[in-house]
Amino acid sequence: MLSELIGIQCKLPVDQRAALEQLLFFNVNQHRVRLGIQQSIETYGVPEIQEHDGGLSIRVGDIEGVQSLFAVSDEGRLLGVAVFVRLARERFVVLHLGVQQPRAVAGDLNTRVLLKLMHEIRSAARRTHGVDRIELVYRDRHAMRLNG
């Protein structure tokens, strides 16, 4: 539904593993950004779901400090995921980004989920001293500058 509320969590309940696997590894939208996914995996490593302290998060290769954000509906249904890391003093790098398969009724929901995830990453970047841009691996390493 267009009125569906989108919440953001940094951990996902363990019982959502199947939904997260589907979203991250078997996403029907992957063909749209296949080259970006391949570039991210070749450069940074393969994403893996890990269980920690009773919740799920995502790690990527051997990179320290990888952060996961999960977009969830008000009913707790997984809607999207963003995986990012601070790789240099001045930038966050978005390593993976995914949304659920579009539904006929809520075609606009995926756009809202992506915007919400990117808004949360941008907010985190603004709160982090020294970070002045966000790099999107899926978009030929396109960097988005943060305005003071």
Would residue 44 count as lying in a domain? yes
pLDDT range class, residue 140, cuts 50, 70, 90? low
Q: pTM to 2 decimals? A: 0.85
Taking residues 20-24, what's their average pLDDT? 89
Would residue 33 count as lying in a domain? yes
- pLDDT for 107 equals 59
Would residue 77 count as lying in a domain? yes
Cβ–Cβ < 8 Å for 86, 92: yes
- pLDDT for 114 equals 87
- pLDDT for 40 equals 80
Contacts of 29 (CB under 8 A, 6+ apart): 98, 99, 101, 102
| Residue ranges making up the domain that contains 56 | 6-145
For the stretch 37-69, pLDDT in tens is 777 888 888 899 999 888 999 999 899 999 999
Q: How many domains would you assign to the chain? A: 1
Would residue 1 count as lying in a domain? no
Read off the CATH number of the domain in which 11 is found: 3.40.630
Would residue 84 count as lying in a domain? yes
Mapped onto helix, strand or coil, the DSSP state of residue 71 is strand
Out of 1-15, 78-92, 93-107, pick the least confident: 93-107
pLDDT range class, residue 147, cuts 50, 70, 90? low
Q: What is the DSSP letter of 75?
A: T
pLDDT range class, residue 30, cuts 50, 70, 90? low
- Measure Cα distances from 104 to 1, 31, 41, 53, 99 in Å: 10, 19, 31, 36, 15
Of 90 and 35, the structure prediction assigns the larger pLDDT to 90
Would residue 52 count as lying in a domain? yes
Taking residues 74-98, what's their average pLDDT? 89
**C-alpha dihedral (12, 24, 26, 107), degrees to nearest 10:** 80
pLDDT range class, residue 143, cuts 50, 70, 90? very low
Average pLDDT, rounded, for the chain = 83
pLDDT at position 138 over 90: no
